[in-house]
Every structure is written in structure tokens, then in C-alpha cells.
Amino acid sequence: MGRRKTGEAISGWLCLDKPYDLTSTQAVGRIRRAFNAQKAGHAGTLDPLATGILPIALGEATKTVSFMMDAGKTYRFTIAWGRTTTTLDREGETSAASDVRPSLAETEAALPAFVGEIDQVPPAFSAIKVAGERAYDLARAGETVELASRRVVIHRAEVTGAPDADHVDIEIDCGKGVYVRAIVRDLAERLGACGHVSALRRTRVGPFTEALAITLENLEDLGHKARLLEALLPVETALDDIPVLAVTAEDAFRLKQGRPIVLVPRQVEDLKARLPAGDRTVSALAGGSLVALCEMRMGRLEPVRVFHL
């Protein structure tokens, strides 16, 4: 006999504006408790010392988390010149110091080298596993951590301001796996300076933006007013770039049973025109509600993930 699930069967996405000094796991725990939800997870870890967008999936939305892992992201961050730290942020111990203060023009001239597909070595203080251990655990224990470089993509990088000679503000659009702390490390080295991240904020993860975000304080206020569900976004929010097909109630019933449905030629041609090259994933909706994520094969839609909403 299976273990009975505890909590409410609540489904949807919450676009959390994560506060400073809170881990992503802690944030998920707080949201799950606030909603008394049976299941919860997040789409993309955000460092404890960073603030900003942390999409949190509840219930059936957890089935769409994998589609957010490749989502584009936008970060705003501040570099403090003069000091390199062990963690590459302001919490680490000083590992090197320099009087060099790159000018705004020098920083702007160096940034293009970090745009496009680049090889990036992740920071030693990261969650990457080395021989089964987290790199940050090994680094904290004083061990030398050597991580292999990874191919990552940065679509845009630009200087947005300079509060004073000791600081510069930068904004980037990037793909998955990019470490802002590594960008700052490599940029400082390129400029012959020392530097670390003094502030970091994520402003976008795919379709989740600051305009949709809610703080823990505002969420708590909604809870006091018994209006928590107002903060939830639809499960399909994470699937905004996947072609949608409206299906009949009869076809929806078949898909929910795990059975494929046959498409008419017009539907096949329409979906082919909307699907990215080499992709077959289609969202099936009935009555405005997400029924299943499917793959289109040989004129049929075959359910891959079924939703119970």
C-alpha cells in the first residue's frame, strides 16, 4: 500500500523574488509550507547571496521543470574592483588585492570577448560534483578543486553604470550553466585587475520576469487575506515557446489514458509550420486546460507527460 501524500493538490508556478541570504532549497520549502502543497521544486538554483527571479513549481507544474532548465536568463551584477576573494563574491576571504581600477571604457572594450559561445571554468565554490562530492564542500575543507571548462553561451553583455571608480554595473543575457562569478574572475584577469561580485540579481528566467514576481512579504500578506492562490501562474507558463493544439474532450480523455490521438492533415501541416527544426513537442489543451505534453509522430500525438488539473 503506497504512502498517502500529505498536503494539498495545488498546481501552478510561483515567480518568487528571492531575498538575499536564502538558499533556493530554503525558498522552495517556505513556499511549499505556505501553500501546504504536496509537491514543489525550483527551476534553476540561485545563489544564497543573489536576489531575484526563482521560479517555483507546485504540484503538476513540477512536470514542466525540465523545460525551464534550458531557458534564457538575465542577470544584473556589480563588480567591486581591488579585491579577489576565495568565493569570488563579497563573503569570501581576500585571496589577492590590487590598486588597478579599470576605467569604464576599458571594461566596455573587454566585454565583447565574453559574448557568444565561450569556454568557462566554473568557480571552485559551486554545486558541481567532483568524485561524488560538491565542489564547494571540498573547497571549504581547504582542498584544491580543479573543474573542467564548459561551453556556455552569453547572448549580450553590457556596462549599465559605474557608481564610482571602485565599482561597475553589468547586465547579461545568457543560456544555462553560466556563472556570473566566473565572468567577473575572468574579466578582472583580462583587465589586469582584482575584482569580485558585490551584488547579483537575476531579473529573468525564460518567461518569468520581475513584472510577474512576488516577494515573500507580499505572499505572506496574501496568505493572511486567504488570497494565496492569486499569486499562482498557470502550469503552462513554463511552456510558452511550445506549440499548442486544442483538442476535443474525447481526444483529451484518450491522451489522459496514455493513448495517442490521430491528427488530420491540416493539423499536421499547421504544427510542422510552428515546430522548431528537429523538435516534436506539442502541448495539448482542452477547454483552456493543459492535458498533456506530446510528441508528434507519423501523424499522431503520443502523450509523454499527462497532467491532472
In a shared domain, residues 77 and 112: yes
Instruction: Indicate the average pLDDT of the chain.
Output: 91
Average pLDDT over residues 20-40: 93
47 catalytic per annotation: yes
**Shared domain check, 217 and 143:** no
pLDDT band at 72 (very low <50, low <70, confident <90, very high): very high
Give the SS3 label for residue 227.
coil
Tens-place pLDDT, residues 148-183 = 889 999 999 999 999 999 999 999 999 999 999 999
Could you give the dihedral angle defined by the CA atoms of residues 184, 185, 191 and 194, in that order, rounded to the nearest 10 degrees?
100
Q: For the chain, give the percent of residues with pLDDT over 70.
A: 97
Q: What's residue 3's pLDDT? A: 60
Which residue range(s) make up the domain with 39?
A: 12-71+208-237
Axis crossing angle, helix 24-35 with helix 216-224, rounded to the nearest 10: 10
Of 188, 216, 237, the one marking the end of a domain is 237
Cβ atoms < 10 Å from Cβ of 300: 14
CATH number of the CATH domain containing 281: 2.30.130.10
Q: Are residues 109 and 150 in the same domain?
A: yes
* Same domain, residue pair 85 and 110: yes
| 241-262 per-residue burial string, b: 16 or more CB within 10 A, e: under 16 | ebbebebeeebbebbbeeebbe
pLDDT score at 266: 92
- Identify whether 6 is part of a domain: no
Share of the chain above pLDDT 90, in %: 76
Mean pLDDT score, 222-234 = 92
**pLDDT(4) > 70:** no
Helix (H) or strand (E) run with residue 255 in it: helix 249-256
Band (117; pLDDT cuts 50, 70, 90): very high
Same domain? 171 vs 120 = yes
Catalytic: which of 47, 89, 173, 186?
Answer: 47
Residue 103: inside a domain: yes
Is residue 126 domain-resident?
yes
Do 123 and 201 fall into the same domain? yes
**114 pLDDT tier (thresholds 50, 70, 90):** very high
Q: Using CA atoms, how far apart are residues 180 and 200, in angstroms rounded to an integer? A: 8
Together in a domain, 81 and 199: yes
277 and 290 in one domain?
A: yes
What is the helix, strand, coil percentage profile of the chain, to 5?
A: 30, 35, 35
160 falls within a domain: yes
Region 69-80: what's the mean pLDDT?
A: 95
| Residue 257 shares a structural domain with residue 220 | no
Mean pLDDT computed over 45-74:
93
- In this structure, the answer to whether residues 121 and 153 fall within a common structural domain is yes
Task: Give me the pLDDT at residue 156, please.
Answer: 97
Global model pTM greater than 0.85: yes
Residues 79 and 200 placed together within one structural domain of the fold: yes
Q: What angle do CA 130, 135, 141 make, to 5 degrees?
A: 115
Nearest CA among 284, 258, 286 for reference residue 271: 284
DSSP line for 28-52: HHHHHHHHTBS-EEESS---TT-EE
How many Å apart are CA 127 and CA 133, to the nearest integer?
A: 9
pLDDT the model gives residue 2? 55
Tens of pLDDT, residue by residue over 120-156, are 998 887 777 776 777 777 777 677 777 788 999 999 9
Look at strands 289-297 and 261-262 and give their pairing.
Answer: unpaired
Q: Are residues 86 and 51 in the same domain?
A: no
**Band of residue 45 on the pLDDT scale cut at 50, 70, 90:** confident
CATH number, domain with residue 231: 3.30.2350.10
Domain tally for the chain? 3
